[in-house]
Amino acid sequence: MNTPLKIAIAGLGTVGSGTLQLLQANADLIAARCGRPVRVTAVADQVKNKDRGVSFDGISWYDDAEAMVANADADVVVELIGGAHGVAKRIVEAALARKRHVVTANKAMLAHHGLALAQVAESGGVTLAYEAAVAGGIPIIKAMREGLVANRISRVSGILNGTCNYILSTMRATGRDFGDVLREAQELGYAEADPAFDIDGVDAAHKLAILAAVAFGTRVDFGAVSVEGIRNVTATDIQYADEFGYRIKLLGIAECADGTMSLRVSPCLITPDMPLAAVDGVFNAIVAEGDFVGRSVYEGRGAGARPTASAVVADIADIAMGRRVPTFGVPVAALRQLAVRPLDARVGASYVRLAVVDRPGVFADIATAFRDESVSMESVLQRGRNANANVNVVIVTHESEDAALIRALQRLQNNAAVIEPPHMMRIETLQ
Amino acid sequence: MNTPLKIAIAGLGTVGSGTLQLLQANADLIAARCGRPVRVTAVADQVKNKDRGVSFDGISWYDDAEAMVANADADVVVELIGGAHGVAKRIVEAALARKRHVVTANKAMLAHHGLALAQVAESGGVTLAYEAAVAGGIPIIKAMREGLVANRISRVSGILNGTCNYILSTMRATGRDFGDVLREAQELGYAEADPAFDIDGVDAAHKLAILAAVAFGTRVDFGAVSVEGIRNVTATDIQYADEFGYRIKLLGIAECADGTMSLRVSPCLITPDMPLAAVDGVFNAIVAEGDFVGRSVYEGRGAGARPTASAVVADIADIAMGRRVPTFGVPVAALRQLAVRPLDARVGASYVRLAVVDRPGVFADIATAFRDESVSMESVLQRGRNANANVNVVIVTHESEDAALIRALQRLQNNAAVIEPPHMMRIETLQ
């Protein structure tokens, strides 16, 4: 039998335990496919007394992940602790410096420190792998970096956060409002007790920053991502969007053209015939557009112990087989730094909802503001007033520059009859 | 600069020319990602005087592909001639025997001779790569063999033939009949002058045989695939399926359970909420189900010069980077040979259309035949007679063994009132 590949796992939470379960359950299969056994020699976690459904025979236990990295007999350190800047980053740096390969699911760390860590890995001649960091079980990093290697990628877009997608899908299916569905998602374990990272779009933005680096061969730049979450999406918006023939999805969209790039995470309106429109619940999906391959779509479970473990072990198998690829597709020195196009330079259609007092002249004010900024309306919908004599005016614009629409909405915000900040969402026509 | 990887391309038809175009158009990008230039040193085709939109500077031309393989200075032979048994197979064998890596898009050759060719590649320590053979630009072979490496795959199903999918999608969208739409597809270049390979399901069966080998770690076995094409699907069937809430798709389905496997290509009814139901036109899509990853879906262009070239060059990049994987995921000696479950052992619902003479007692005969074979009906639809006093009786069955339903239909075929062979299609509930 060939030399086993020795693995040390830092962090035995959901994903860490799932990875250990997978490596034990499918050990024979993995050994056959890797041409050698994959053996866990050490694990580190602060909580020892807990049933994880796995055997710890022959595995050294460390309470301290840093001590494990310093002392364990391992070829690969698997970092599943999480967090952008703390112990996770320290052990990844230490492992790479000791010329150990690193496999991680840590999107926050990569979004913030991916470039520096890739440099350390490259200098040491070891692998820094992170399939599990983006879209859980979907092998999207491999697809982009190897499967589509021949293509100039112009756009990557996707549903990158299962929590948000579950909330938006459930709001649409039930007509219930955001806060109500969020509470239910928390009870079901689909949303964290502190849901901010997910619902404010930060988690999706981490993943988009990583995807963009791989797709465009650029330095990971989390600061380049414009981020808007789903807190302000109401049941009313979902209902109006439906009436106009759209679904609302939290999308991450990365575009590259003319030597500039645009990275944004925000709730968007898309038509039901788009591949992403049918992706409901906790599923993730990514659409990549390349100059030769055209459009390709990847869908699967974006989170959870077992799908994420599947991605972690795929990275381990690449290491076991000696398959190498630069961290972000090309050597660090060849990664580009592209100018970031401002978000409001986009040209496209938008959805706008204005809550206004229903009195004469308000509609004329709205129409005037749009006309003065040369934003033309494709559709307008106004319903009977509610108990407070307020109405929603909902507008779908023709293609226009976002900057012009934003100026029109700023004018209206100063109008006393407009009683809430205007709700604006982009309509995206990704093919 | 590192040593260039030298490529010889056999066959400059659509895909060969597309591959050459891609290697020239994206040469810089490919060199950066591969860490070395990829250089075409030789090409072989019988037709020289033809504008292929590429430069032949520095490329040796051979009229004879076998002469090219014997004499050209190349690390990799790219076989894009096609055909299961002829010159394509001879040059692949010759190239592998000379310890040249081989990249091919030839699904027929792999379905028939994949095992023997993998053995030759393995003995020579060279790569036999075939991403382009299945589902065009979709990197499904890489996804299955590397991305999902940690999973026991229980089922792979997919829309594997763009021609059939285009014909069925168009029949549904327009209500036109098979022959009519086929003629249009031929005019548009979506179907060959001799369309038999596509519309009889043989092309999809080649791809399914390859996918199953990779998914289950089995010897490629084209003979194990039950094949039925779409010639007998009528506009009437599509309309009835719609009324019952189904779409008709030509699916390839490979299942593995309890040490046996089942491989079938046939027109199937699926519900609109299934991922494959929304895949229309010339697109391909594949659903893979693994024990840890769950369901994952891959969609993209399944044919055409540019998407197929994207897959060919992905294989070339793996070779350029020295990334290796056994041809079918594990060494040839480790490939299993599974017993094949007979097709009629399936248990599931079916769609049946019977063209009958509309006279008293016919319906009772049908009901009796079903009852005697213990096949119960979920829905029955009968419409007013046509000019010949014939009617269609359409039945959706409850779950039952296909063998029982087939026995019931055989009884009815002997009934003088049943004027056409019964039309039966399986209803598939892939999740």
Angle between helices A27-34 and A14-25 (to 10 degrees): 80
- Size of chain A, expressed as the number of residues it contains: 431
pLDDT per residue over B60-97, tens digit each? 999 999 999 999 999 999 999 999 999 999 999 999 99
Exposure on the CB side of residue A102, measured as CA atoms within 13 A:
34
3-class secondary structure, A180: helix
pLDDT tens by residue, A317-345: 999 999 999 999 999 999 999 999 998 99
Q: Which H or E run contains A96? A: helix A87-97
Q: Are A85 and A91 in contact (CB under 8 A)?
A: no
CATH H-level superfamily of A344-427 = ACT domain (3.30.70.260)
- What is the tally of helices (H) and strands (E) in chain B? 14, 19
B292 to A26: CB separation less than 8 angstroms, yes or no: yes
The answer to whether the beta carbons of residues B249 and B159 sit under 8 Å apart is yes
Looking at residue B385, its pLDDT comes to 67
Query: Does the pLDDT of residue A112 top 70, yes or no?
Result: yes
Kindly state the tokens that stand for B229.
């094409």
- The candidate with the shortest Cα–Cα distance to B94, out of B79, B82, B84, B111, is B79
What's A422's DSSP letter? Answer: P
What sections of B244-397 are H helices per DSSP?
305-320, 362-372
Topology, domain A143-300+335-343: Dihydrodipicolinate Reductase; domain 2 (3.30.360)
Distance from CA of A423 to the nearest CA of B (A): 31
Q: Return mean pLDDT, chain B.
A: 95
Given an 8 Å threshold on Cβ–Cβ distance, is A309 in contact with B150? yes
Task: List the single residue in A150, A285, A310 with the smallest CB-CB distance to B150.
Answer: A310
CB distance B356 to B316 below 8 Å:
no
A189: pLDDT confidence band, cut at 50, 70 and 90?
A: confident
Separation of alpha carbons B424 and B409, rounded Å: 9
Q: Which CATH architecture has domain A5-133?
A: 3-Layer(aba) Sandwich (3.40)
* Closest-approach residue (CA) in chain B for A272: B278
Residue A134 pLDDT: 97
* Residues 121-160 (A) with a CB less than 8 A from some CB of B: 131, 137-139, 142-143, 146-152
pLDDT at residue A378 is higher than 70: yes
With CA atoms as reference, the chain B residue closest to A21 would be B292
Arithmetic mean of pLDDT over chain A: 95
Of A32, A309, A310, Cβ closest to residue B148: A310
Q: What is the mean pLDDT of residues A208-214?
A: 98
Contact list, B310 vs chain A (CB under 8 Å): 148, 150-151, 290, 292-293
Which candidate in B24, B33, B127, B276 is best for mutational testing of the A interface (most A CBs within 10 A)?
B33
Degrees, nearest 5: CA angle B293-A142-A108: 80
- pLDDT tens digits for range B344-367: 999 999 999 999 998 888 889 999
Set of chain A residues whose Cβ sits within 8 Å of the Cβ of B307 = 292-294
pLDDT of A387 reads: 64
Arch. (CATH architecture) of B140-301+334-342: 2-Layer Sandwich (3.30)
Nearest to B292 among A275, A299, A307 (CB): A307
Give the residue numbers of A annotated as catalytic, written as ranges: 207
Q: Which residues touch B414 (CB under 8 Å, ≥6 apart)?
A: none
Residues 6 or more apart in contact with residue A292 via CB below 8 angstroms: A150, A151, B18, B22, B26, B137, B306, B307, B309, B310, B313
By C-alpha distance, which of B148, B105, B145, B120 is closest to B11?
B105
Across the range A237-246, mean pLDDT stands at: 95
Kindly report, residue by residue over B243-256, the tens digit of the pLDDT: 999 999 999 999 99
Query: What's the burial of B309, exposed, middle or buried (CB within 10 Å: 0-12/13-18/19+)?
Result: buried
Average pLDDT over residues B38-61: 94
**pLDDT tens string A165-185:** 999 999 999 999 999 999 999
Q: Which helix (H) or strand (E) holds A216?
A: helix A202-216
Which DSSP category does B199 fall into?
Answer: H
Count of Cβ atoms closer than 10 Å to residue A280 Cβ? 17
| Domain extent listing, chain B | 5-133, 140-301+334-342, 344-427
Confidence at B430, pLDDT banded by 50, 70, 90: confident
Inter-chain touch A298–B294, beta carbons under 8 Å: no
Contact B109, B89 (CB under 8 A): yes
Helix (H) or strand (E) holding A319: helix A305-320
Same CATH topology for A5-133 and A344-427: the answer is no
Chain A: residue whose CA lies nearest to B309:
A292
**Cα A363–chain centre separation:** 39
Query: Tens digits of per-residue pLDDT, A391-419?
Result: 999 999 999 999 999 999 999 998 999 99
Alpha-helix residue ranges (DSSP H) falling in B231-389: 235-243, 305-320, 362-372
Is A275–B299 a contact, with Cβ atoms under 8 angstroms apart? yes
Instruction: Give mean pLDDT, residues B389-395.
Output: 89
pLDDT at position A265 over 80: yes
Alpha-carbon distances, residue A91 vs A69, A197, B123, B271 (angstroms): 7, 23, 42, 49
pLDDT band (50, 70, 90) for residue B132? very high
Lowest-pLDDT choice from A18-27, A250-259, B17-26, B353-362: B353-362
Q: Which of A162, A354, A66 shows the shortest CA–CA distance to B294?
A: A162
Lowest-pLDDT choice from A283-287, A427-431, B35-39, B167-171 = A427-431
**Residue A307 in contact with partner chain B when CB distance is under 8 A:** yes
- Using a CB–CB cutoff of 8 Å, tell me whether B33 touches chain A: yes
- Which chain B residues touch A313 with a CB distance below 8 Å? 149-150, 292
At residue B189, the pLDDT reads: 85
Residues of A in contact with B173 (CB under 8 A): none
Residue A405 in tokens: 């629409």
CB-CB neighbors (< 8 A) of A303 in chain B: none
Contacts of A323 in chain B (CB under 8 A): 146, 323-325
CA distance A161 to chain B (A): 16
Cα distance between residue B204 and residue B196, in whole Å:
12
**Residue bearing tokens 């990583």:** A210
Residues A207-236: what's their mean pLDDT? 97
H-type helices in B75-219, by residue range?
87-97, 107-124, 140-142, 162-174, 178-188, 196-199, 202-216
Instruction: Using pLDDT thresholds of 50, 70 and 90, give the confidence band for residue A75.
Output: very high
Alpha-carbon distances, residue A150 vs A113, A281, B306 (angstroms): 27, 33, 10
Interface check B296 vs A, CB under 8 A: yes
List pLDDT tens digits, range A192-204: 889 999 999 999 9
A35 touches chain B (CB under 8 A): yes
Mean pLDDT across A285-289: 98
* Spatial CB neighbours of B258, under 8 Å, sequence gap ≥ 6: none
Q: Which among B142, B306, B329 has CB closest to A292?
A: B306
Phi, psi of A415 (to 5 degrees): -85, 125
